[in-house]
Amino acid sequence: MPDQTAASRSARFADVFSLMSRSNPDILTIAHRGLWTAAPENSLTSIRDAAALNVEIVEIDTQATADGKLVVIHDATLDRTSTGTGVVSACDLATVRNARLRAGGGGQTAAVTDERIPTLEEALEEARGRIFVNIDTKYPRDLPLVIATIKRLEMQDQIIIKTDIEPASGHFPVIDADWFGSIPHMPMFRVRPGQFAEDLKLIEPLRAPMVEVKFSDIADLAAGRAELERQNIRLWINTLDVSHNLDFNDSRALVDPQGVWGTLAEVGTGAVQTDTIAPFKQWLAGHEKRNS
C-alpha cells in the first residue's frame, strides 16, 4: 500500500483533468516505466513505489499478445526485460507470463526477480486510487483494446492516452474516435523551429489538456507560453537521456539540476518525465519553496 502522504496527495484531485489543469500550479512528476531504479521497469512494484514517493503520474507501455491480451512491456521482444525470448505479439499470454522480470532496466546480466510481466488490467488495478496513469500504446492497432480495458475497469478519470500527431497536417483522426473527450488525450509532436505557438493554434480542435513535445531550441518553448496559457494546456517535457531534447537530460540534471529542470520550469514546463525520480523530487521541493 502507498504511504498516507501519497494517498492524501492523490485525493487532492477528483480526476486527471483537474490534475492537468493549469489552475494546479504544481510541476507534475512522471515516472518513466514506473520507479524502476529499485524494481523491474513496468512492473507492479515499480507502480507501487512511484505512488509511495508522491509521483503524480506513472507512464507504462502496453501491447497485445498473439491471443489478444494486453501486457505491460516496452520492447517488441521479451529478451531485455525478462527471462523470456521472442516477439511479444507472436507469443500467447501463457508464454509471456511464464517469463520472470529482470531487475531495473533489464539486460542479460540483471538479476532475475520473482515478478511476472503484468497484464494491463493488473497494472491499472495496482494504480487505482493511488496514482494517475499515462498509457503508451506501442502499436496503434492495439488502441481499441486499450480503450475497451479502460472503460471496462471504469478508470477513464485516472488515465491519459497519448498519440503522435502532425500539427500542420490539418487532420486529426483521433477526434472521430468514440472515446475522444471521455478519456484525456495528450498529443505528441516535434516542435517546428520558430513555430511552437502556431503549432499550438493548429491543434486547438483537439482541446488538449497537455502536450508532450520534443524541441530543438529552448526559446521555442518560451515563445509558446502565452498560447499554452490561452488554451489551458500543460506542457510535458521528457528529460530522459533517450529523448534527445538537446542536453536537457537526466544525466546533466544530476550535475546541474537548475540548468536543466530549472530552465524548463522558467519557460513554462508543467510536467517532467524522468528516470531520476528522487533527485528530481528533491530539486522540485526546493523550487516550490523558493517560489512559495
DSSP 137-153: ESSGGGHHHHHHHHHHH
pLDDT higher than threshold 70 for residue 98? yes
When pLDDT is cut at 50, 70 and 90, the band that residue 196 belongs to is: very high
CB atoms closer than 10 angstroms to residue 244 = 12
* Mean pLDDT of the region 260-266: 98
pLDDT band at 138; cut points 50, 70, 90: very high
Reported pTM:
0.94
287 carries an active-site annotation = no
Quick one: pLDDT band at residue 195, thresholds 50, 70, 90?
A: very high
**Under 8 Å between Cβ of 218 and 248:** yes
DSSP 212: E
**Residue 104, Ramachandran bin (φ over 0: left; ψ between -120 and 50: alpha; else beta):** left
Rounded CA-CA distance 32/143 in Å is: 20
12 or 88: which leads in pLDDT: 88
Taking residues 238-246, report their average pLDDT: 95
Question: What's residue 5's pLDDT?
Answer: 43
Query: Among candidates 274, 269, 264, which has minimal Cα distance to 238?
Result: 274
Would the pLDDT of 7 be above 80?
Answer: no
Sequence-distant (6+) residues with CB within 8 A of 277 are 29, 31, 35, 37, 50, 53, 55
Per residue in 209-230, pLDDT (tens digit) is 999 999 999 999 999 999 999 9
Q: Where are the beta strands (DSSP E) in the chain?
A: 28-32, 57-64, 70-71, 132-137, 159-164, 185-190, 210-214, 234-238, 269-274
What would the grid cell of residue 122 be?
493488473
Looking at every residue in the chain, the average pLDDT score rounds to 95
Percent of the chain with pLDDT over 70: 96
pLDDT score recorded for residue 11: 55
| Whether 244 is catalytic | no
Of all residues in the chain, what percent carry a pLDDT higher than 90?
92
Q: Is the pLDDT of residue 238 over 70?
A: yes
User: What pLDDT is stored for residue 14 in this prediction?
Assistant: 86
Question: In this predicted structure, what is the pLDDT of residue 9?
Answer: 46
| Segment 227-239 mean pLDDT | 98
Contacts of residue 183, defined as CB under 8 A and 6 or more positions apart, other chains included, come to: 147, 150, 156, 159, 160, 161
Q: Note the Cα 140 to chain centre separation in Å.
A: 17
Cell 521482444, located at residue: 77
The mean per-residue pLDDT over the stretch 36-45 comes to 95
pLDDT tens for 73-86 read 999 999 999 999 99
* Residue given cell 491499472 in the structure block: 124
237 pLDDT tier (thresholds 50, 70, 90)? very high
Rounded to whole angstroms, the Cα distance separating 183 from 152 reads 13
